[in-house]
Structure 1
């Protein structure tokens, strides 16, 4: 459950002190107290101790490998000795992490998919290096052990069984398949890995529900998961029948016949035998009725195979230019991410990146942090997850959050390495050494168009003139991840297999190479290569399916209940981080971007925001907001953190803030003044959005001098704002809602034209009123719906002006408008409706399908009614 998983993660992250007393040895019989166990060093202490011993001014280096060598002196001495001895055939196998003390078995970490199984205590010890390990390395290994012991496990066989029974009751008694599916999903998440029968039963039960919902591919995958996890043999005919039925629905007749043949070799009772023959007959009938459908060849279509962009290189920097004229909203480029990691803001398939799906978790990962939308995605991602699985078991990547503000950046760099390096080594035909391989990575291999990883190596990275504390910290972290690859995975052994038989590199060399490449990738991501993929997110725990009763949103799969669209689209956040080395990462920065990007899973599509002539540059804004959404000072600060200095046209204008200020203009409420003004700065409100700051919206600030007119020096009373927030508390009462409508009208007199605050107030108003209507506290009539529709309709032009009609923000706000139209007789004109439908082309495909279904179910029928008369807009 959500509360269980959250508390588990919270307990883990707080456990950085000494080990608990329960794990210490009992006192000897003589009564002498045992010596206290040494405190376990946390990651912050580990890095802090190394920083105290290092002087950044003494670290002179020219590249990442040299910096890593400076930070690992013992490794450097050992490497020099190995090279002098000609020990190129040293084994890369080193002693893995030991088992917990007192020889207790931890089956939850054994046999993980791709994870390194912990060796048995009785297994023969593998020879280690004669050179004593660096103290830092010793502490890193101890820290790994500490993570393994302290990782929170929220899994419970009893809780899984209880949820599975609740799902059965919901399906059989309540006749609510969507709720039952959610309960079975949570039962899967809570099932322990050491006893997979609980997970097998939950998968089998969910497969039945998904079949009834029409999700046949997911139902079939659930059947396979149940069989893989040890589903009881006495129930095998039940699963095989369901597999055959799913295959038949998916029109996979060969697979259906295969399962039916399996059933014929099993002793069946009369019911199962009858059902088997029925499926066989249906399969034969459908095979006869199958026919070939005509497919458009595309010969009659106007196609243009020429590439609309090209890469230009100048002084080791890249830029994209158009090769031909590109019309507004036309496709410029599209590509799939070379590497991608979920952000943790919502549930994301770890391979394809979609957010709306039935989750299939890795049963071995702690807290079920890794989920997939299908077994196919899990299979495609197996090679990557094989290296990461043990890290997820001990929550390695999450633990970096104690030190780094963006731990996912480290995981993305890690994934770039393990994805690209094996591909690169396949092309090494000569016997490599560390120095030769590093020279090739910085030289000839950069120009290889047949190697995808070469495009990653060519990416620009954040360049710092000297080894700052941040750079040293990141280098130490790269070393930690390299130690993880050496001690906790078989990654180096896989790399050895990619090299010629006579070529072998020591484990120390592989560690240094991987640490240096990780350092380079981190520098690339800190510059402009890391793309923040934004989409809609539901307010749910990302590691369970529906702790907040998400099933209540849906009338059927991919079809929402009436009036619930704004809940699905109410929040926009970064759902994943990705790298597009041959397209988006090569764009130059401009605060007035010439492209808009659409993210749909791993796929990124860039379309032109305006007509671009041939040879013009293709620019993207890397500041997190353009010149209409952020002030120049804020943009410059964000860009400097990424090593970008902006000299775009929007920043060079003499009145560069005018475009931003048009969304923040006020009319003085002093009757003797009534001048229009804008503010330069507010101490507790970044980018002048004071209505979002708790420093200004607390009740004690009612009447305080928050905004002062620069013309007459009179403080603005903002009575409409305080009245709005007071009435919002009890908006289930019609009297309070009337006060809200009145406050909106008074705000119109002070907030000029496109003011951003009007958009925020409109959203708060509709959110609360729709919630009151949805929960049945009161039922809104057509007069109120017309009021709400007019209010939201009046602010949509402001959203379009600030974010554009091709933005996900525009879709987010008109979702409220669509709910009003679905619940009432209010409607917009055809031109506005077409604008909204066109905007759906710029959101993720799975959400586009949900919006289209909502439009067809609730909005299109009202526009098609001939008897429907035009509704006169209620003026606000």
Structure 2
């Protein structure tokens, strides 16, 4: 699994500095993003660069060299009067009109590209090189799809379904065939959709099967097989109790020439539909007013200049909802498959047939339709993997894509409000003035957010400005975005393409700087240890006994790790909270929806705090780690946890040792380790290498003796041969000896328990070794004793805690090992705080394997209590 970066700044990679070239790249030279940045920065004197805002910086980059001086800065100053939305004077556009070269429209439909005509004007040279770079990216991604490979995978799916009778495996094959089908041969994708619809129907996933039928028809499924698809649509509609839709498809079938089998099946469905319709009965249904609680929100926002504070206006009980908001914009992180529209992570994929690889996928046709206005502007960028190419220079290309979505989502919302003849200066003044005061436009909540610009890092800021300009050129040359904006404007006066480019580039740069501040939200969820839909797309079927039902002993693979699956912005709630390393809220991400729940009882009038450090709060990280990340995001944390004399006091209680020197035996906590960034030395490659075995890793602060840690070296070596009973016994012994040195709640206990159970369950699952009741009891006791550490450090309502007890549930499912009713209830309560799609999987697993083993014992205890 690809781990997410802990840093949130869009900094330039140190390994990829901008090579400043003396001249433009030759025709034979392969362009890179670094070259494009150099082309714009080579003539700038960054140390003398003077600008007041993002648009002025873009104008400096656009202007010829003779205008890039302090003396001539006044010639390109931006007007500051409030205009565009309110009445104002018309201004003259300071830029040249749109160039006469043909606009290049790519994106949806896969239209080809042609280079722009060369020009000697300096401001057009950069556009020519950008278009050349786009062409190079297009050539690199042209071979991602293969009709022959799609057909081969589809035939493998047919064999899995007909011969092996393994529906879930066949479904994965057909999905893979869709991604490999070339856009110019939509028949291959149509057949894959039709075949998968058969499998999904057999699995009881009728809504997805019906969507697949529609996709097959849209992509030109052969007309001679149309009755087969219509019959399946009717069957799916009947299963979904949509009788009107079912009858519609049955009427279509009755007007076709059907063979005897199809005609018989059509009449059978008609009869079933009539029977089910006659069985319907009226039910007393509560009205919408009856269901509403009419409970007002429990918070208010106070503004102090450009800073904000969220406060409660009434008491809030522990685990109660403080606020809830749907993300205004969202992009997948790439760590897991994610519906590009609604943000769910477990679904049957409906891809865009034009995009390369799995860049844009959806959980349904409805989500794909809802996201179409956004995807139409991104599709060609996905085809050439434009956002991935940004990663060659910038550490977080998804941050730039999120800023891009902020722009293309928001600008159409405001252009219809421009009443006067616009100029570039007036529009920019509006985006900095009156638009930030509007509360009836969603995009205005983004414009109000603070920005984080590092004045000392001028090179990075200028490089980001160039990238913003590159994306603006993409919108101009490869999409119809600017044409759409002008159609929505009520004035006949039009801006030139150059002016639109500069305006959107300036807004893009502002959004990037906002995301470098605290407003970028890392949405965490479970990710498979090796997500099959990224690394091995045909193996996920091995986890499931049925849709949303995991096989016994496989739950820990579903909750194998916690990672960032999406980046979002919540401008009306979370962004307005104040920073504190001691949070007031826990955050539940379910799709695009954020639900903030009170970690403890909150009194009326109390400030609501959030820790904006993605690596963890004061119990999970050291102050040095948090300080470094928060400073990169422009946050100076002054919370009570950071200002203590020992700010790492709470973190260190999870890292306390008893000295193994018989003459000492004192409890100590190490302060720093030379080869580990934090106190988690067991994760450092340096300390786990054989040549460092037994080195001076931990030094007792009481007696200055190096700890032998014999149990850790034994554990590390024996873990490699876990299929042997002798080695597993050594592991159990090492865990017991570790308990004598690792104090209660030590984080290493939970880490070692997870490693042990992961390896033992793997060898049991693959048949390399068969664990008996004695071993299952050992493993159950080890994991059970580690759970309090995870609950104390991360909270019993956290994903980390659920990740740990997933291993414990697998042991219970495979054996007769049990825990107390109170412990079980704590685990079940924790499921209320995980994404809804995973909650369903965990509940199904509980009902399939856990509840039956507790039923008899629980019934007996209830009877005893009653007596």
Give TM-score, length-normalised by structure 1. Answer: 0.90
Contact residue 312 and residue 607 of structure 2 kept, 8 A: yes
Aligned: 1:630 with 2:621:
yes
1:255-292 CA distance string (max 9 Å, x none): 11111121122111111111111111111222222223
1:659 is aligned to 2:650: yes
Instruction: Show the 5 A alignment for 1:431-450.
Output: 431-450=421-440
The answer to whether the Cα contact below 8 Å between 1:554 and 1:561 also exists between their aligned partners in 2 is yes
Tell me the distance in 1 between the aligned counterparts of 2:224 and 2:300.
62
Looking at structure 2, the residues matched to 470 and 289 of structure 1 have their Cα atoms a distance apart, in angstroms, of 68
Partner of 2:9: none
Greater CA drift, 515-524 or 83-92: 83-92
Distance in 1 (CA, whole Å) between partners of 2:288 and 2:787 is 39
What's 1:783 paired with? 774
Q: Deviations over 1:520-552 (max 9, x none)?
A: 100110001110000001244575695351101
Question: Do residues 552 (structure 1) and 542 (structure 2) align?
Answer: yes
Question: Aligned to 1:708, which of 699, 716, 722?
Answer: 699
The answer for unaligned runs of 5 or more in structure 2 is 3-15, 17-24, 69-74, 79-89, 862-867
Contact preservation (8 Å) 1:89, 1:504 = no
Q: Which residue of 1 aligns with 2:376?
A: 386
CA distance in 2, matches of 1:56, 1:684: 37
Asked if 1:520 is matched to 2:514, the reply is: no
The 1:737–1:816 alpha-carbon spacing in structure 2 relative to 1, beyond 3 Å, is same
Residues of 2 paired with 1:457 and 1:650: CA distance? 32
Greater Cα shift, 502-511 or 396-405: 502-511
1-side partners of 2:97 and 2:40: how far apart? Answer: 29
How far the C-alpha of 1:174 sits from its partner, in A, is: 1.1
Alpha-carbon distance in structure 2 between the residues aligned to 1:116 and 1:410? 24
Q: Do 1:170 and 1:176's aligned partners in 2 also have CA atoms closer than 8 Å?
A: yes
Matched, 1:461 2:451: yes
1:334 is paired with a residue of what secondary structure?
strand
Quote the offset at 1:483 in angstroms.
Answer: 0.7
- Kept after mapping to 1: 8 A contact 2:532/2:540: no
Please state whether the residue corresponding to 1:576 is helix, strand or coil: strand
For 1:867 and 1:499, how far apart are their aligned partners in 2? Answer: 67
Distance 1:482 1:86, change over 3 A: closer
Alignment-derived partner of residue 31 in structure 1: none
Of 461, 465, 488, 1:498 maps to: 488
Matching of residue 800 in structure 1 with residue 807 in structure 2: no
CA distance in 1, matches of 2:809, 2:100: 61
Match for 2:247 among 237, 244, 257? Answer: 257
How do 1:752-763 and structure 2 match up within 5 A? 752-763=743-754
| Aligned counterpart, 1:689 | 680
Which residue in 2 is equivalent to 1:858?
Answer: 849
**Residue of structure 2 aligned with 1:397, choices 387, 393, 398:** 387
Q: Within the alignment, does 1:283 sit opposite 2:273 as a pair?
A: yes
CA gap of 1:680–1:545, structure 2 versus 1, over 3 A, is closer
Cα 1:474–1:85 change in 2 (3 A) is closer
Query: What is aligned with 2:326?
Result: 336
Residue matched to 2:103: 96
Note if 1:267 corresponds to 2:257: yes
Q: Distance in 1 between matches of 2:813 and 2:270?
A: 44
- Counterpart in the other structure of 1:769: 760
In 2, the alpha carbon distance for the partners of 1:812 and 1:845 equals 15
Question: Partners in 2 of 1:93 and 1:360 — Cα distance?
Answer: 39
CA displacement 1:552-604 (0-9 Å, x = unmatched): 10000000000100011011110010011101111111000100000011111
How far apart in 2 are the matches of 1:615 and 1:191? Answer: 58
Equivalent residue, structure 2, for 1:9: none
Shift of 1:494: 0.4
- Separation in structure 1 between the aligned mates of residue 756 and residue 468 of structure 2, nearest angstrom: 48
Instruction: Tell me if the contact between 2:98 and 2:498 (Cα under 8 Å) persists in the aligned partners.
Output: no
Displacement after TM superposition at 1:132 (Å): 5.4
Quick check: 2:529–2:560 contact (8 Å CA) kept in 1?
A: no
Q: Following TM superposition, by how much is the alpha carbon of 1:676 offset from its aligned partner in structure 2, in angstroms?
A: 1.2
Per-residue CA deviation, residues 104-124 of structure 1 (Å, 9 max, x unaligned), is xxxxx7xx53x6733689xxx
Task: Give the counterpart of 2:519 among 514, 529, 538.
Answer: 529
Alignment of 1:779-858 (within 5 A): 779-858=770-849
How many Å separate the matches in 2 of 1:736 and 1:682? 30
Change (3 A) 1:236 1:167: same
Aligned counterpart, 2:125: 135
Structure 1 608/862 Cα, relative in aligned 2: closer, same or farther at 3 Å?
Answer: same
The list of structure 1 runs, each at least 4 consecutive aligned residues, that deviate by more than 4 angstroms after superposition, is 74-81, 83-94, 127-132, 297-302, 540-546, 866-870
SS in structure 2 opposite 1:652? coil
Root-mean-square deviation over aligned CA pairs: 2.6
Residue matched to 1:641:
632
Deviations 1:146-181 (A, max 9, x none): 111122533222221111111111111111111111
Distance in 2 (alpha carbons) for counterparts of 1:582 and 1:330:
19
Deviation for aligned residue 1:837: 0.6
Distance 1:120 1:522, change over 3 A: closer
TM-score scaled by structure 2? 0.91
Q: How many residues align?
A: 820
Alpha-carbon distance in 2 for matches of 1:92, 1:581: 37
Cα separation, 2, equivalents of 1:545 and 1:185: 15
Q: Does 1:486 pair with 2:493? A: no
Query: Counterpart in 1 of 2:6?
Result: none
